[in-house]
A and B are shown apart, each in its own frame.
Chain A
Amino acid sequence: MRLSSFSYALRDALRSLWRNKFMTVASVATVAISLLILGAAWLLVLNSNYLASAMESELEINVYLKDDVPREEAVLMEEVFADIAGVAEVVFVPREKGLQELEDRFSEDTGLLEALGDRNPLPDIYRLKANDAVNVPAIAEMASSLDRVENVRYGQGLVERLLALTDWLHTAGVVMIVAIAVASVFLIATTIRLTVFARRREIGIMKLVGATNWYIRWPFFLEGMLIGFMGAAIAVGVIHLFYAELTKNIASTVSFVPIMTDRTMLNEIFRNLLLLGTGLGALGSAVSLRRFLKV
Chain B
Amino acid sequence: MFNVSKIYEGEVKVEALSDINLHIRKGEFVFVVGPSGAGKSTLTKLMIREELPTKGQIMVDNRSLIRIKNREIPHLRRKIGFIFQDFRLLMERTIYENVAFAMEAIEIPRGEVRERVPAVLEMVGLADKLKSYPHQLSGGQQQRVCIARAVVNDPRIIIADEPTGNLDPDTSWEIMNILLAINKRGTTIITATHDREMVDSMRRRVIALRGGFIVRDEERGGYDK
The answer to whether B48 has its CB under 8 Å from any CB of chain A is: yes
Q: Chain B interface: which of A2-10, A44-52, A74-82, A247-255? A: A2-10
Establish whether residues B78 and A210, one from each chain, have CB atoms under 8 Å apart when the complex forms: yes
Partner of B88, one of A1, A2, A5, A204: A204
Q: Which of A189-214 contact B (CB under 8 A)?
A: 201-202, 204-213
Contacts known (A4-B107, A4-B109, A8-B104); A208 close to B74, Cβ less than 8 A: no
B48 cross-chain contacts in A, Cβ below 8 A? 208
Output the residue of A2, A201, A205, A210 with the most chain B CB within 10 A: A210
Indicate the size class of the contact surface on chain A.
Answer: 10 to 19
Once bound together, how far apart are the Cα atoms of A163 and B155, in whole Å?
A: 70
Contacts known (A201-B90, A205-B88, A205-B90); A210 close to B77, Cβ less than 8 A: yes
Once bound together, how far apart are the Cα atoms of A208 and B81, in whole Å?
A: 8
The answer to whether B13 has its CB under 8 Å from any CB of chain A is: no
Contacts known (A201-B88, A201-B90, A204-B88); A209 close to B109, Cβ less than 8 A: no
Establish whether residues A209 and B102, one from each chain, have CB atoms under 8 Å apart when the complex forms: yes
Once bound together, how far apart are the Cα atoms of A215 and B105, in whole Å?
A: 7
Establish whether residues A210 and B75, one from each chain, have CB atoms under 8 Å apart when the complex forms: yes
The answer to whether B106 has its CB under 8 Å from any CB of chain A is: yes
Establish whether residues B105 and A210, one from each chain, have CB atoms under 8 Å apart when the complex forms: yes
The answer to whether B185 has its CB under 8 Å from any CB of chain A is: no
The answer to whether B110 has its CB under 8 Å from any CB of chain A is: yes
Establish whether residues A209 and B90, one from each chain, have CB atoms under 8 Å apart when the complex forms: no
A205 cross-chain contacts in B, Cβ below 8 A? 88, 90, 101-102, 105
A207 cross-chain contacts in B, Cβ below 8 A? 74, 77
Establish whether residues A209 and B105, one from each chain, have CB atoms under 8 Å apart when the complex forms: yes
Q: Which of B40-86 contact A (CB under 8 A)?
A: 48, 71, 74-82
B153 cross-chain contacts in A, Cβ below 8 A? 209-210
Q: Which residue of A lies closest to B81 (CB)?
A: A209
Once bound together, how far apart are the Cα atoms of A201 and B71, in whole Å?
A: 21
Establish whether residues B76 and A210, one from each chain, have CB atoms under 8 Å apart when the complex forms: yes
Contacts known (A201-B88, A201-B90); A208 close to B107, Cβ less than 8 A: no
A2 cross-chain contacts in B, Cβ below 8 A? 107, 109
Return 11 A-B CB contacts under 8 Å, by A number.
A2-B107, A2-B109, A4-B109, A201-B88, A208-B77, A209-B82, A209-B105, A209-B106, A210-B78, A211-B105, A213-B74
Interface residues of A (CB under 8 A from B): 1-2, 4-5, 8, 201-202, 204-213, 215-216
Q: Which 5 A-B pairs have the closest CB atoms?
A: A210-B78, A210-B77, A211-B105, A209-B102, A210-B74
